Amino acid sequence: MSQRPGPSVKGKALGLGVAALLLWLAGSAVFRGGPDSKPGPLAPGIAARPPGTASLIERLRRTTLRNGDEMYRRLDLGDASFFDAPEVRRWHSSRRGNAEVCAVGFVDPDRVDYRLRTFPDRESALAEGYVVTHRDHCGTCSSLRNLAVYLEHPDLTSPVRNCARRWTAGGVKACLMEEIGFEEHCAATWARNVLHTRRRCLAPCIGHYGLWNVLTNDIRVPNTDEDGNLNPCLACDEHVSGPGFQYAAGRTRRNSGLTSAITRPASEIYAVDHRLYFR
């Protein structure tokens, strides 16, 4: 009995190519601005750029972090698989009961050069003369220059989505640095997040948005349902990449006192006064 011929080498190659294209497009569709900055209207009644923000951004851009490399080495993020590391998941599950903060200590009278340090709580930081910059430990996005990027772009949806369409981690990282302004370590963390979500969330994203919409990047369905729950695609991003991103980056919008593009309860936004750095 004769056997039916299997798929040709060209057919297999075509199938792999289509799969890779879908994976790439789905990754750019789901990763729309980071775990706490998905598209949608800003929280009602909250100004995207409060008065005085422009001058604050300029001063933040002129600052220089003096212990960045030391701090990044301490995080031990050499392997991209840290997103699935048990210690990261344990950290995230115990985060609600952790009062750690990342704080700024200037080392010159002009308030240009500074060091970042993780303290067990806000009171400990204030006692040492530091200014709290966000909740949780210091990470790759904790610098004041990266804070300036968050302040300048209340909604990172479009620029990050465009960068997410690059094929490689290096391409995504370069785009995030050149087009958005993130510093290198922070851009690398965002790029890793893009690729991790791209690998893990293909099925739920195509299932929710539809294959044609993913292929054409026509993603106009609501981010949340009537109860405020993330749609399956964005929920996948938040579940599989959110803990690792938060652990590595340190700074997010919500833990820096900034509103995100999804309306969140006020209790989820950590109170921070960023004007205190220069007072």
Residue with tokens 């990470």: 139
Task: Output the six-digit token pair for 13.
Answer: 């190659």
**pLDDT for residue 176 is more than 90:** yes
- β 113-119/64-65 pair status: parallel
| Interval 28-34 mean pLDDT | 49
Between 33 and 160, the more confident residue is 160
Q: Which residue in 19, 81, 29, 75 sits closest to 240, CA to CA?
A: 81
Range of the domain at 235: 26-278
75-121 tens-digit pLDDT = 888 776 789 899 999 999 998 889 999 999 999 999 999 999 999 99
Interval 7-24 mean pLDDT: 48
Give the C-alpha separation, 236 to 108, whole Å. 44
In a domain, 272, yes or no: yes
End-to-end C-alpha distance for the chain, whole angstroms: 86
Indicate the helix (H) or strand (E) that contains 134.
strand 131-135
User: Would 273 be classed as within a structural domain?
Assistant: yes
Q: Please check whether residue 9 lies inside any domain of the structure.
A: no
Q: Which of 150, 174, 176, 146 is nearest to 161 (CA)?
A: 176
In a domain, 54, yes or no: yes
Which residues make Cβ contacts (< 8 Å) with residue 124, sequence separation at least 6? none
Helix/strand/coil for 210: coil
Task: Examine residue 41 and state whether it is found in any structural domain, yes or no.
Answer: yes
Please list, in sequence order, all residues whose beta carbon lies within 8 angstroms of the beta carbon of residue 86, skipping any fewer than 6 positions away. Answer: none
Q: Nearest-5° angle of CA 157, CA 45, CA 190?
A: 25
- Average pLDDT of the segment spanning 177-206: 91
Q: How far apart are CA 199 and CA 23, in angstroms?
A: 7
Report the C-alpha gap between 73 and 108 in whole angstroms.
Answer: 24
221-237 mean pLDDT: 78
Indicate whether 47 pLDDT > 50: no
208 in a structural domain: yes
Which of residues 214 and 9 earns the better pLDDT score?
A: 214
For the whole model, what pTM was predicted?
0.81
> What is 31-89 written as a DSSP string?
-SS-TT--SSPPPTT--SS-TTHHHHHHHHHT-EESSHHHHHHHH---SGGGGG-HHHH
Q: How far, in Å, are 24, 140, 194, 201 from residue 27 at the CA level?
A: 5, 22, 7, 7
User: Rounded mean pLDDT of 23-49?
Assistant: 45
Mean pLDDT lowest for which of 25-34, 57-66, 180-189? 25-34
The verdict on residue 10 lying in a domain is no
Q: Which residue has the higher pLDDT, 220 or 179?
A: 179
Mean pLDDT of 177-200: 93
Q: Which residues contact 56 (CB under 8 A, 6 or more apart)?
A: 151, 274, 275, 278
The answer to whether residue 20 sits within a structural domain is no
Percent of all residues in the chain with a pLDDT value above 90, rounded to a whole number: 48
Q: How many domains does the chain have?
A: 1
Q: What percent of the chain has pLDDT over 70?
A: 76
Q: How far from chain centre, in Å, is Cα 150?
A: 10
